[in-house]
Amino acid sequence: MIRKILVPIRNDGKGGSVLAYAAALAKRSGAHIEAVHCRPRIEDMMPYGVVIPSFLREQVRQQGESVASEEEAALRTEFETTARTYGLGVVDRQTTDQNTASWVEVPGKQVDVIRNRGRLADLIAVAKPDRDRNLGFNTLKAALFNTGRPVMMCPPTPTPPEVLGKHVSIAWNGSIEAVRAVVMMRRVIEAADTISIMSSGSEPTGTTAEEYLEYLEIRGMKGKIERFKAGRSAGGALLETSRGLGADLMIMGAYGDSHERETIFGGNTQVVVDTATMPVVLVH
C-alpha cells in the first residue's frame, strides 16, 4: 500500500509540478506526502580546501541563512497551496489519517537526505532531469540507486492530472527489475481501472507477459496485453504505446544494464528518462 510519498523540494522551479503529480496519486491511494526541503549547511557553502577567515565565514553563514529562509517560505507556501488544491490536509507529521501532507526542513545535501529518508517511503517523487541545464540527474540517481524504493519521475506540465493511476501501463520484459516494479507497485496497479501490459513478445529471461497476466488474474485483477514493435528504441516505443492507450502512469523496471552503460549507449531506460512526457515509475 502506498501510504507515504516522499517529495524532495528545492528552488529549481520544478517542485510545484512534482507536488501536483504526487498529490494526484495520493488523492487516489489515500497516501501521505512528506515534502522535504533541504536547507544548505554552512560547510557546504565553503570552497573545498580553502582557508576562510572567520569574519568571512560569518558573512557567508548569515547570507546563506537569509536566502534559505526566504526560499523556504516561498516553497512552503507553494506546497500548502498545492496540497489544499488536491484536498490534502496539511499536518505537522504523518498520522494514520489519509490524504494528508506535511513539510519537513532538513539540513544537508539533497542526495544525502533522499538516501536517508527515502528508504522508509513507499514512493519517491522527483522531477524529470533537465539535460539542457544538467539538472536533476543526481536526485534521480540517489532516489533510484540508494533507497531501494520505487521512484516516480514527473515531467514538467502546465496542467497536472486531477487523479493519477486510473489507467496504468506496465513495461514488461520479464526481467528482475520489471518484477520488482510490479510487486512494489501492486496496490497502485490493483486500484487502477485499466491495466495495460506492454510487451514486444520477446521476454529473453523466460517470464512472459502471459504469465504475468495470469499472476494478475489469480489476484482478482484484469489486465490486457498490448503488443508493440520495439524497433531501434524500445524505450521510445513504450512511451508512444502508453500515450496511444491513454495511460496516465507508466511503470517499468529501470537500468537492467548499468546506469553508466545506458547513459553512454542510450539504453531503453535512458531514452525514457530523457524523453518522457508522462509520469513514469522506475524501479531498479
What's the pTM?
Answer: 0.88
pLDDT in tens, 147-183: 999 999 999 887 878 889 999 999 998 888 999 999 9
What does the DSSP 8-state code read for residue 120? T
The pLDDT, as a whole number, for residue 131 is 78
Q: What domains does the chain contain, in order, with CATH numbers?
A: 4-154 (3.40.50.620), 167-283 (3.40.50.620)
Closest C-alpha to 199, from 183, 175, 167, 164: 175
Beta bridge partners of 196: 169, 224
pLDDT at 239: 96
φ/ψ (deg, to 5) at 162: -70, -35
Burial class (CB in 10 A: 0-12, 13-18, 19+), 48: exposed
The residues of the chain scoring below 50 in pLDDT are 260-266
- State residue 193's pLDDT score: 96
Rounded distance between C-alpha atoms, residue 91 and residue 111, angstroms: 25
- Which residues have C-beta within 8 Å of that of residue 190, sequence separation ≥ 6? 219, 220, 221
Strands (E), 26-137: 32-39, 89-90, 100-107, 123-127
